[in-house]
Chain A
Amino acid sequence: AQSVTQLDSQVPVFEEAPVELRCNYSSSVSVYLFWYVQYPNQGLQLLLKYLSGSTLVKGINGFEAEFNKSQTSFHLRKPSVHISDTAEYFCAVSYNAGNNRKLIWGLGTSLAVNP
């Protein structure tokens, strides 16, 4: 069975500090990997995704993530965070299930950027 684990439920950080939000997955089939962001009182927005090719993926708002197949990880990073990055971040995995693709979600990491 496939699963997604976000290792930190909450990450407090000071403004302009670097941040890493961790995501590990388990799957017996090939997967696509995603990070979504949910700002307060808003819907979900795609930050970045890994489908194939280069394992280092750059997304919006200065975020990047690296797909590590041997460690089954897809950690999200930003070298310098802003107050406006305060949000809930979700890691998701997409895989083939019969004739459909399934999308499963991590529990989310709440990033709180403090001045």
Chain B
Amino acid sequence: SAVISQKPSRDICQRGTSLTIQCQVDSQVTMMFWYRQQPGQSLTLIATANQGSEATYESGFVIDKFPISRPNLTFSTLTVSNMSPEDSSIYLCSVERFGELNTEAFFGQGTRLTVV
């Protein structure tokens, strides 16, 4: 299993500012994933963060808006830059364990962001 600590759990931010979300895993993982869950919607993958290389962004997401750091195998940050009300969402950090007999995705508690 994996225990993921994500902070802050929630924040209310002014438009035009930036917020950095931290994600700490209790074990080393190769890839960490950042998702966005907009109100009433499913999860949308923002990017995949590998340690030692640039993050890989999904279509519709760019590094300038969502810069990601991955300084080691247990930690990652996601910054939501120059925020607007449309960025109000839940942001989730995730890791996945894959194996022949067991595979599962684990999630942090999420960061509930409101931009005013």
Contact = CB atoms under 8 A, between A and B. Distances in A.
19 contacts: A32-B103, A34-B104, A42-B109, A44-B43, A45-B107, A46-B105, A49-B103, A49-B104, A51-B103, A92-B105, A100-B48, A101-B103, A103-B45, A103-B96, A103-B105, A107-B41, A107-B42, A108-B41, A108-B42
Contact of B104 (A42, A43, A46, A100): A46
A94 B99 CA distance: 12
Contacts of B45: 103
B59 interface: no
Q: Which secondary structure dominates chain B's binding surface?
A: strand
Contacts of B42: 90, 105-108
Question: How many residues of A sit at the interface, in one of the four size bands?
Answer: 20 to 34
Nearest to A96: B98
Interface of A: 32, 34, 36, 41-46, 49, 51, 90, 92, 94, 100-101, 103, 105-108
Contact of A101 (B96, B106, B107, B108): B96
Contacts of A36: 105
Contacts of A45: 107
A100 B49 CA distance: 13
Q: Which secondary structure dominates chain A's binding surface?
A: strand
A62 to B, nearest CB: 20
Interface string B78-116: 000000000000001000101001111111111010000
Question: How many residues of B sit at the interface, in one of the four size bands?
Answer: 20 to 34
Given A49-B104, A101-B98, A103-B96, A43 B109 contact: yes
A43 B92 contact: yes
B105 A51 contact: no
Contacts of A103: 33, 45, 96, 105
Interface string B1-42: 000001000000000000000000000000101000000011
Contacts of A92: 105
A105 B38 CA distance: 14
